[in-house]
Structure 1
Amino acid sequence: MSKLMTRLRRALVLLLALTIVLCPAQLAPHFGDGLESIRKRDFLQVATRGGPITFYAGGHGPTGFEYELMRRFAQSLEVSLSVDTEASIGGVIDDVKRGDADVGAAALALDLDREGIRYSQPILTLQPLVVYRRGLPPVRTLDDLLGLRIGAIADSGNAEALRTQQRNLPGLGWKEAENLTIADLMEMVERDDLDAAVIYTQQFRLNRLFFPNVERGFPLGKPMSLAWAFSANQSIDLLSAANDFLEEQRRNGDLDELVGRYFGHDDYLEYVGARLFIHHVGTRLPRFVPYFKEAARETGFDWHLLAALGFQESHWEADAESPTGVRGLMMLTHPTADEVGIDNRLDPRQSIDGGARYLLQVKQRLADDIPEPDRTWMALAAYNVGLGHLFDAQEIVRLRGGDPKRWADVREALPLLQEREWYSRVRHGYARGGEPVIYVRNVRRYYEILKYVNRSQQQFNQLGERALDGESTAPFEIVAPLL
């Protein structure tokens, strides 16, 4: 493992230590009486890898599609969840085989030929996808891959998809490495270290906004199934419990809701707009970062969230003005500026300070029993549509039998403020309630992109420096053509 990857892994371990309290690790393998031994030790041990499908540190703690599903599974067993991250898919599988983990959950493609492993029922369909660098001739067919520098993650279903296609096209060759993340792979395509890569469609959808120069190519081969891995030496009762749990999640709609939450927002930001946002992150934002950080210290918000709000309001233009008279980087009205003590709305430092303090005031006026992150999303909606209309949306939620403390329920109610049947029954009347839903959705996506860029900048700079020095950016193994 290169020194770079070692440093990155250590940083990831430190990050996870700060964001999740893990159960005490046991030195002995976890083989035993299956469910009985898990309940006795009171935690489920999971091996995973970092990534948007699997497990990562979000704005409010650990998150990820498989992490959330595993957390629910542990709750169904009435035990806590312990997560270990491995550098490679092979490492995850080895942990499961040795009994160092009860379950492997790392965007694993179901592989019935893998010895020593049993798999759960399929959870999600994974489609291998060829992506390539913008500016190259379109990559639309298998023949278009000949002569390109192609990368894949070792032991993944994507690498296996390439091997399958190599039988049809013996001249096909590629590079693969076990310690890369999807972000590393896409960054290498973006930076011209690779021409193309094979990743899953879901991984592309979650990362495409971060890498605007990486284009969608074509689906490679047949779809695969994401599944959890269990040791063949383990008692069958844990696998049976997992399958029962997954079947219940599918039957009651919770699995579809989770899939929609993580993978259903590919079109939230129009693609050209996303490219513009990434451009402004490097050009306009740096001037204002000290002001956002200062306002964050004063109000307790994450500065990335305040910056995301600023971009949604003005695209970080200090002299922005709307036809309705709101002005400045945070687009404050005259009354709002007076309320928070701002005398010059076109001064970016004052505007950012005033916008942050106004958002805090709005948040503090919400009911104390609204949990995070719902509380923050509702505050953002009220920043856009007004606190009165937000309260009206919560009242509509009550009338419909929902939970006014859940942003998901309030989000569904806000557009009803445009319908007479509903706005006539609440205090503040009509509002264009669809707008704050889109507003919050965009701010959340900008927020995630900003955190990602900030977290990854040092890593990407190191990768670039190594490339300039003529060093390999990853421990690739060459898979040569068969010809």
Structure 2
Amino acid sequence: MSGLRELLRLLQLITIAALTLGLATCIERPGLLEQIDTLGTLRVATVNSATTYYLDADGPTGFEYDLIREFAQSLGLRFDMVVMPDQQAVIDAVASGHAHIGVGVAVSEPRREKARFTPPYDEAKLEVVYRVYKHKPRKLADLSGDLVLPAHTAFADWLRANRPDIEFTVDEQANTEELMDRVAAGDLAATIASADIVDMNQRYYPNLRVAFSLDEVRQHTAWAMPGRGDMGGDNTLYNEAIAFLEQVKENGRLHILRDRYFGHVKRLGFVGGHEFARQVDNRLHLWEDYFKRAGEEYGLDWRLLAAIGYQESHWDKNAVSPTTVRGIMMLTRAAASDMNVTNRRDPAQSIDGGARYFVRMLERMPEEIQQPDRTWFALAAYNIGYGHVMDARRLLEDRGRDPNLWVNLRDALPWLTQERYISETRYGYARGHEAATYVGNIRAYFDILTWMTNNRTAQEPPALDEGKSPTAPESETAVENTATISIDSPAF
């Protein structure tokens, strides 16, 4: 009997051991993709910049934002953008588990030690930029001792590993765009940036020139994810990312996104006065009555509306931007919907809707902003959004500068591209340089149109002085001895 009990006890122990072993082998740690699916949200680390992610007048945008949005949609996931101060911080966020994926990251060997990269989906040449009229460097060795780079860049890693003979300085507080600003101003001898960033900033800095390209190195951009050791060999998210990036390459979607954000940068820019005068003769008469009608309806100088229309579309009713804004006044879908514009390519609707949208920006400006500055503030808001203009005002106020003067706001708008200021803002990165240039161009076009239209009645060209509002004039009083208008004047 005792032998039977011992046998039963042994069988019981064997059964328990077998069950325990089975459970141990069946219960596995869920893969990263399964964890994210359970969480419901993909956490994406990136930086605020023109090439990655930022907020514009129509909401979140940017090349990397659009790309990761499509990836998240392909997985049926929501996603949150986690903004980091620089690319090294993006890598650290991925490695520590604070983000599932880092996007728009330049690959370097030291970074490979912390994160696992997809195959690169973009390659850009690096260019040395300097200020025109300064000594032009011919080779990398010419920069030794004078080169300044942002901290924590992939190129700085490359220099340390491959060119220890090149002495350079890193600026812990500045990003690439701020360094190019300082090069253009003559405060720095040179810096290095990818061709896309250089192309964008040359529109705002006519003194910025490319000395040479670095043939021996390219900037490769990829997505970063936790390394193999961090996830116990898990490949689920990594494999999905690779498959997605290969797909968008093959079906042309990657090319479309690149063209949307970067394909136009060499084509856009400041158009000369002679070209503007030619378009006045060729196109303005087609839409002049619409501009006059809208100006009379909303109490605006029609020539200001025409200047906005030219800056937006060159008065082309069929114009479409790389970001799909359309028509003479280049309304976004959201703005057109708010203004009840059903056909953005209809010149009458576009001009009327653009005028009403501009009036909305004008009326939203704080009461303490007086004319003509109020109009310039509203133009900036028309371009990059009301929230970004208010961010720039707050930055000025915090630094003891009058936030209600255009001359100060024009200085502050480019701060919205710089890391040291972005952290203080509510709406983050914005293309502030573009907004400042945008307003300056419109002011110049407005002055030229005023001169041209007054000459039609054999009057001298009136100046747009700082005490006169650019709203509809009460009379066409001639002003004598007006200086010749120069589009390239820094006053604009």
Range of TM-score over shorter length: 0.5 to 0.7
CA 1:461–1:203: 2 relative to 1, 3 Å: closer
SS at match of 2:112: coil
SS at match of 1:193: coil
Query: Which amino acid in structure 1 is aligned with residue 123 of structure 2?
Result: T
CA 1:391–1:352: 2 relative to 1, 3 Å: closer
Contact 1:126 1:223 in 2 (8 A): yes
| 1:251 counterpart residue number | 250
**1:75 to 2:29 alignment:** no
SS at match of 2:48: coil
Contact 2:91 2:111 in 1 (8 A): no
Instruction: State the shift of 1:351 in Å.
Output: 3.0
Instruction: State the shift of 1:71 in Å.
Output: 0.9
**1:175 to 2:158 alignment:** no
**1:457 to 2:456 alignment:** no
| 1:119 counterpart residue number | 117
1:45-194 map, 5 Å? 45-111=43-109, 114-148=112-146, 150-164=147-161, 166-167=163-164, 170=165, 172-194=166-188
| 1:349 counterpart residue number | 301
Instruction: State the shift of 1:253 in Å.
Output: 0.8
Contact 2:55 2:61 in 1 (8 A): yes
| 2:329 counterpart residue number | 380
Contact 1:341 1:354 in 2 (8 A): no
Q: Deviations over 1:416-475 (max 9, x none)?
A: xxxxxxxxxxxxxxxxxxxxxxxxxxx99x9579999995832768999x9xxxxxxxxx
Identity %: 26
1:214-229 map, 5 Å? 214-220=208-214, 221-229=216-224
Q: Deviations over 1:240-284 (max 9, x none)?
A: 1100100111111101111222222232136xx37x79xxxxxxx
| 1:405 counterpart residue number | none
Query: Which amino acid in structure 2 is aligned with residue 222 of structure 1?
Result: V
| CA–CA separation in structure 1 for the residues paired with 2:290 and 2:131 | 46
CA 1:377–1:239: 2 relative to 1, 3 Å: same
Q: Deviations over 1:116-167 (max 9, x none)?
A: 311011110032221112221222212321352x211222122123334533
| 1:260 counterpart residue number | 259
Query: Which amino acid in structure 2 is aligned with residue 128 of structure 1?
Result: L
CA 1:321–1:95: 2 relative to 1, 3 Å: closer
| CA–CA separation in structure 2 for the residues paired with 1:68 and 1:136 | 39
Contact 1:332 1:355 in 2 (8 A): no
Contact 1:88 1:178 in 2 (8 A): no
| CA–CA separation in structure 1 for the residues paired with 2:416 and 2:57 | 24
Instruction: State the shift of 1:339 in Å.
Output: 3.6
**1:199 to 2:193 alignment:** yes
Instruction: State the shift of 1:47 in Å.
Output: 0.8
Query: Which amino acid in structure 1 is aligned with residue 255 of structure 2?
Result: D
Instruction: State the shift of 1:77 in Å.
Output: 1.0
| CA–CA separation in structure 2 for the residues paired with 1:260 and 1:40 | 35
| CA–CA separation in structure 2 for the residues paired with 1:462 and 1:66 | 19
Instruction: State the shift of 1:34 in Å.
Output: 0.6
| CA–CA separation in structure 2 for the residues paired with 1:209 and 1:341 | 31
SS at match of 2:211: strand
Mind listing any 5+ residue stretches in structure 2 that lack a counterpart?
Answer: 1-28, 312-316, 332-341, 348-378, 393-409, 421-492
CA 1:252–1:262: 2 relative to 1, 3 Å: same
| 2:202 counterpart residue number | 208
Contact 2:126 2:192 in 1 (8 A): yes
Contact 1:154 1:176 in 2 (8 A): yes
SS at match of 1:222: strand
CA 1:336–1:152: 2 relative to 1, 3 Å: same
Q: State the aligned residue count.
A: 318
| CA–CA separation in structure 2 for the residues paired with 1:141 and 1:125 | 21
Contact 2:101 2:225 in 1 (8 A): yes
Instruction: State the shift of 1:105 in Å.
Output: 1.4
Q: TM-score, normalised by structure 2?
A: 0.55
CA 1:247–1:140: 2 relative to 1, 3 Å: same
Instruction: State the shift of 1:78 in Å.
Output: 0.6
Instruction: State the shift of 1:82 in Å.
Output: 0.3
- Of the structure 1 ranges 116-125 and 220-229, higher mean CA displacement relative to structure 2 is found in 220-229
Query: Which amino acid in structure 1 is aligned with residue 217 of structure 2?
Result: K
Instruction: State the shift of 1:379 in Å.
Output: 4.8
Instruction: State the shift of 1:75 in Å.
Output: 0.7
Contact 1:65 1:259 in 2 (8 A): yes
| CA–CA separation in structure 1 for the residues paired with 2:310 and 2:51 | 35
SS at match of 1:138: coil
Q: What's the RMSD between the two structures over aligned residues?
A: 4.6
Contact 1:87 1:179 in 2 (8 A): no
Contact 1:151 1:175 in 2 (8 A): yes
CA 1:448–1:216: 2 relative to 1, 3 Å: farther
Contact 1:158 1:199 in 2 (8 A): no
